[in-house]
Amino acid sequence: MNVATKLTLALLVAITAVHLGMGAVRVGRETARFEHEAREDAAVYGRTLAALVRVAWLEGGEEQVASLLATANAADEGLQIAWRSGRVEALVRSDDSGVHVLVPVTLPDGSRGAIAIDDPQRDERAYVRESIRNVVVTVVVLALLCALAAGMLGHTLVGRPAKVLAEHARRVASGDLSKELAPRPGRDELAQLTAETNRMTRSLREARDRSEEEVRRRLEAVEQLRHVDRLRTVGTLASGIAHELGTPLNVVLGHAQLLQEAGDEGSRAGADAIVKQCRRMTAIVQQLLSFARRSGRHEGHADAAEIGRETLGMLG
């Protein structure tokens, strides 16, 4: 369940509870007012009937009283009026069946009785039930309207921005740091969260760039170390070759020089060629030994022409 739905349900429950509470208070007040007015009216009506009963007793006795009460019952169908003989205490009360009033009456001959008035309050109870239905319908309609409005606002103000933030977080998690969120207007929590998310994205991108640059530099350093190691290997190999070739070359050179001194004209020509090539090979061997003995890089001035001549000499 997303945040917008939770907010909508929370608002719906709160609004429904408030309106139901207000409706219950209003219905309770109307019910109490109706009961109070009914008790007051029944008591006044009972006292009026008590006076009329005493007059009717003087005029026609018990029959006249019975006729008066019958006329009163017929005049108001909502009330139930009866005569009770004997000593009765005054009573005004209300319960689920309606309002009940007992009005004591002392007749001219000294006997006692009471007028019993029962008001079932059918109209009032029907009005209360109608009020309750109206309250329920009003609460339901208002709750639905508020839920619809809250849902739309929640989706616009919370749901949609939260979805955008979630999609951006997934892109960042997959390694895509090329895009940032569009800044939100205002200074609310979502605007601050968007700004902080963009700041985090920039920081991650800068950290990745620094890491890639560091990796590149380390790879270059490793490659340089490998190159140095290869050069060292070549130097070792050259030193070994130079040492192995040095002694045979000296022997060949010595024999060639002897031929130059003691040989005939044809032998001296061949010996001259051998001496020349041996000296050339000796120079190459010396250069290989010099290369193998190099311990590091030295900065300084050098003669480019001399370097070129040495290189050409090594290549023949």
Summarised one tens digit per residue, pLDDT across range 195-216 is: 888 888 888 888 888 998 999 9
* Domain 3-157 architecture: 2-Layer Sandwich (3.30)
Fold adopted by 218-295+305-315: Helix Hairpins (1.10.287)
pLDDT at position 36 over 80? no
pLDDT at position 23 over 80? no
In this prediction, residue 293 carries a pLDDT of 64
8-state DSSP, 86: S
pLDDT at position 29 over 60? yes
Residues pairing with 103 in the sheet: 115
Average pLDDT of the residues in 146-158: 76
In this prediction, residue 311 carries a pLDDT of 61
73 versus 4: which is more confidently predicted? 73
Q: For the chain, which residues make up each domain, given as ranges?
A: 3-157, 162-213, 218-295+305-315
36 versus 295: which is more confidently predicted? 36
- The CA–CA distances, whole Å, from 17 to 134, 142, 149, 150 equal 16, 12, 18, 16
Is-same-fold flag (3-157; 218-295+305-315)?
no
Confidence of residue 141 (pLDDT cuts 50, 70, 90): confident
Highest mean pLDDT among 11-15, 82-86, 226-230, 260-264: 226-230
pLDDT at position 292 over 70? no
Of all residues in the chain, the percent with pLDDT exceeding 70 is 85
In this prediction, residue 217 carries a pLDDT of 92
268 versus 77: which is more confidently predicted? 268
In this prediction, residue 214 carries a pLDDT of 92
Confidence of residue 285 (pLDDT cuts 50, 70, 90): confident
Distance CA 197, CA 187 (A): 15
Which two tokens mark 136? Answer: 């329920």
- The CA–CA distances, whole Å, from 30 to 20, 24, 127, 183 equal 15, 10, 10, 55
Distance CA 65, CA 60 (A): 7
In this prediction, residue 218 carries a pLDDT of 92
pLDDT digits (tens, 9 = 90+) for 270-279: 777 887 888 8
Average pLDDT of the residues in 142-155: 78
In this prediction, residue 108 carries a pLDDT of 76
Q: β-strand 112-119 against 98-106: which pairing, if any?
A: antiparallel
pLDDT at position 256 over 60? yes
Q: What angle do CA 82, 87, 93 make, to 5 degrees?
A: 60
- pTM here is 0.43
In this prediction, residue 109 carries a pLDDT of 74
315 versus 78: which is more confidently predicted? 78
Q: What angle do CA 180, 184, 188 make, to 5 degrees?
A: 125
pLDDT at position 61 over 70? yes
- The CA–CA distances, whole Å, from 125 to 30, 94, 178 equal 10, 13, 72
Average pLDDT of the residues in 288-293: 67
